[in-house]
Chain A
Amino acid sequence: MLDLMTAEFDLDASSTAPSKEELLARVAEGDQSAFGELYDQIAPRVLGLVKRVLIDHAQSEEVTQEIFLEIWQTAARYESQRGGASTWIMTMAHRRAIDRIRSSQAGRDRDTKIGIRDLAVPYDHVAETVEVKIEHERVEKAMSRLTELQRQAVSLSYFSGYSHREVADHLHIPLGTVKTRLRDGLIRLRDELGVAS
């Protein structure tokens, strides 16, 4: 699964460094230095995503800390045959960011900040690796293949952390329609990005 992405993100770890999968296996055995190395490799991506969802920096760092503690605690449950370590970690990161939003105040704080935000995937041209840029462009291109409504629904839920019910309220469309858009939108993205089992 996820051959393509795994391959790419092994590249950005560079061939000299141990892969995230190897590091995760060592973390599962209690290896703290492997944990530190894994952290160095992927923490900026985790924080990037969490902050994209939560906006607030301090809160995002807090959630990032929780995510890495969860990685430490559950590393033994990672199954490499089910996907790359990045996938496992980023899925966990997104879920935790969303959990935080759903928890009361965090969501409200964020809503006050989110009003003015563009729905498009924002991208600062800070010092990025080539890999990150390529990945970003690839995804942006794929996103551009969605219908506007699919793109909105997917963006609102993934990047803004709206539940599908909230997306329905926000866009004034029936829940059933949102479900369909999210599913069709992701399927389209999957095909565009070449993600396949």
Chain B
Amino acid sequence: MSGTDKDNDLTGNGSIDNPADLAGAYALHALSADEAAEYESYLARSEQARIEAAELSDTAVALGLSVAPVQPSSALKANLMAQLASTPQLAAQAPAAAAEPTQTDAPTDAPPAVIPIGAGPSRSAASTAATASSESAGPVDGATEAESIAPSGSAADRAQRRWFQRPAGYLVAAAAAVALFAGGTFAGQAIYGDPTREFAQQQAASLAEINAAGDTQRASTQTSDGQDATLVWSGELGLSAIIVDDLPALGDDEDYQLWYIGTAGPVPAGTFDSDGSGPVWRVLDGTMTAGDTVGVTVEPKGGSEQPTTDPIVAIQS
């Protein structure tokens, strides 16, 4: 077991009764995020508690499996399947104790793409990131927590620790988005305008932020050529992002340019390109004002001061 020095701050405020008493409530998900975090910090220090927690969690599952199954509507599956292609998958946890050898050379061209952006009319799933963060959160979730715990235990502790980990919500979303850029390749998605890593990460972080905002909204339409286009935005953040499926690639001398079109007329909001297949997305530069229309035009390389062509798509926020 690890030393107690790191844990002084945790045990110090443990004037509440024995943390071990929380084992049942924890397994039943009957603790608040703060309480669960406190219990987890106790778990991180006690092998015995981890065993108990695992067993009680399994016991709770037995309760869950005793409930009569309910057949979901067929629309549910269809909806889900439609969203897979645009829902990025996380890699096995990086600081894993024993990296599972399941990371194969197998197709990495399986199309991870955008943060769960949802399929048009289905509003629910698109908010996965947002829900997770707003509902379960607490500052202890996800990567931060994992990292803060990791150094204090053995590899086994960490492995075990993961089992209890609560959903990372926002952080997972951000990590997923950043993962798209891992290795410098952007998984088939295009932000060719400025392919620096910082830019890509900043884009990904912004997109995750939008998705995790409390007031995330989205609207979908089609481009003049019939590709699906979705605008997702947060009025609170003043940020928006556009996602277009299968947007044709442009010639070397052209870029797609984004515009915020409000009462003052079109304001340039960045350029991007597409490789012609799969979803392409771009968080717009500048600040969105509620009610702005977001437009995309084809402009000479590098963009224009004012639109020089008709928009291929326009979506009102």
Contacts and interface: CB of A to CB of B under 8 A. Distances in A.
Interface string B125-147: 10110011011100000000000
Interface stretch (B80-88, B192-200, B233-241, B300-308): B80-88
A70 B128 contact: yes
A119 interface: no
Interface string A170-197: 0000001011111111110110010111
Given A69-B128, A70-B167, A86-B61, A128 B21 contact: no
B210 to A, nearest CB: 17
Given A79-B100, A128-B68, A158-B60, A69 B125 contact: yes
A126 B172 CA distance: 39
Interface stretch (B69-77, B219-227, B262-270): B69-77
A115 B294 CA distance: 47
B24 A51 contact: no
B128 A103 contact: no
Interface string B94-131: 00000010111011001110001000001011011001
Nearest to A139: B66
A61 B72 contact: yes
A46 to B, nearest CB: 8
Nearest to B88: A73
Interface stretch (B1-9, B25-33, B201-209, B247-255): B25-33
Given A64-B76, A162-B30, A167-B30, A189 B66 contact: no
B87 A163 contact: no
B139 to A, nearest CB: 16
Given A76-B89, A86-B61, A157-B30, A99 B136 contact: yes
Contact of A197 (B51, B66, B67, B124): B51
Interface in A72-91: 72-77, 79, 82-83, 86-87, 90-91
Interface stretch (B158-166, B271-279, B282-290): B158-166
A5 B176 CA distance: 33
B54 to A, nearest CB: 6
B149 to A, nearest CB: 15
Contacts of A136: 66-68
B25 A178 contact: yes
Which applies to chain A's interface (DSSP): helix, strand, loop or mixed?
helix
Contact of A76 (B65, B84, B102): B102
Contact of B71 (A44, A181, A190): A44
Contacts of B163: 79, 82-83
Interface string A23-42: 00100111110011001100
A44 B135 CA distance: 24
A69 to B, nearest CB: 5
B62 A65 contact: no
Interface of B: 17, 21-25, 27-32, 51, 54-73, 76-77, 79-81, 83-85, 87-93, 100, 102-104, 106-107, 110-112, 116, 122, 124-125, 127-128, 131-132, 134-136, 159-160, 162-163, 166-167, 172, 176
23 contacts: A1-B58, A28-B102, A30-B89, A30-B110, A36-B81, A48-B69, A65-B76, A72-B87, A76-B100, A76-B102, A79-B100, A82-B160, A95-B166, A135-B66, A139-B63, A157-B28, A157-B29, A158-B30, A159-B63, A159-B67, A178-B25, A190-B56, A195-B62
**What 4 pairs between A and B have smallest CB-CB spacing?**
A30-B110, A182-B24, A183-B24, A44-B69
